[in-house]
Amino acid sequence: MFKKIFGKGHKEEAVKEETVFSPADGKVISLSEVPDPVFSQKMMGDGIAIEPANGEIVSPVNGEVIQLFHTKHAIGIRSLSGIEMLIHIGLDTVSMEGEGFTAHVKEGDKVKVGDPLITCDLQLIKEKASSTITPIVIMNGDVLERIQKYEDGEAEKSQTKLLELVVK
């Protein structure tokens, strides 16, 4: 009825600017300092990393879970602006085959900033993997017009800005 009176309704404006908050408490690290060339040389994309202080990983954006690796060491999220990001918990953690990781979401779930994604046992990661450093990588960087990084200091999950993005 309203569509007949007012036309087809207004189209929702696409989100063009987005803030990526820290998915964990911990120390912010430049991606170039991550001790793994796949991340440090930006082979998968640009981004930032966190050395987590605890095992709670939360959503850094509002969006949708598009991939949850069966080993639960990594998760992909598509934000409202269409940015696709990978949160890779620790380095060489795929070899742990899910041990020490508990997922709180599944593929297709809608998430908001601060929603729990994965809980992990950092002590176990320290024992069984090469590092607890957690890269946050923009997988489809070609859609970005601009990326602003905040690479200093300590981060508080869902509170500290890590990246400000503007899509084309």
pLDDT score for 5: 44
Low-confidence residues of the chain, pLDDT below 70?
Answer: 1-13
pTM for this model (two decimals): 0.91
Which domains occur in the chain, in start order? 13-167 (2.70.70.10)
What does the pLDDT look like over 87-98, one tens digit per residue?
999 999 999 999
C-alpha span between 75 and 51 (Å, rounded) = 17
pLDDT score for 92: 96
pLDDT score for 32: 96
Catalytic, out of 10, 70, 88, 104? 88
C-alpha angle with apex 154: 152 to 156, nearest 5 degrees?
Answer: 125
pLDDT score for 7: 47
pLDDT score for 26: 98
pLDDT score for 15: 83
Sign of CA dihedral 43, 47, 51, 57: negative
Structure tokens at 144: 């970005």
Q: Is 88 noted as a catalytic residue in this protein?
A: yes
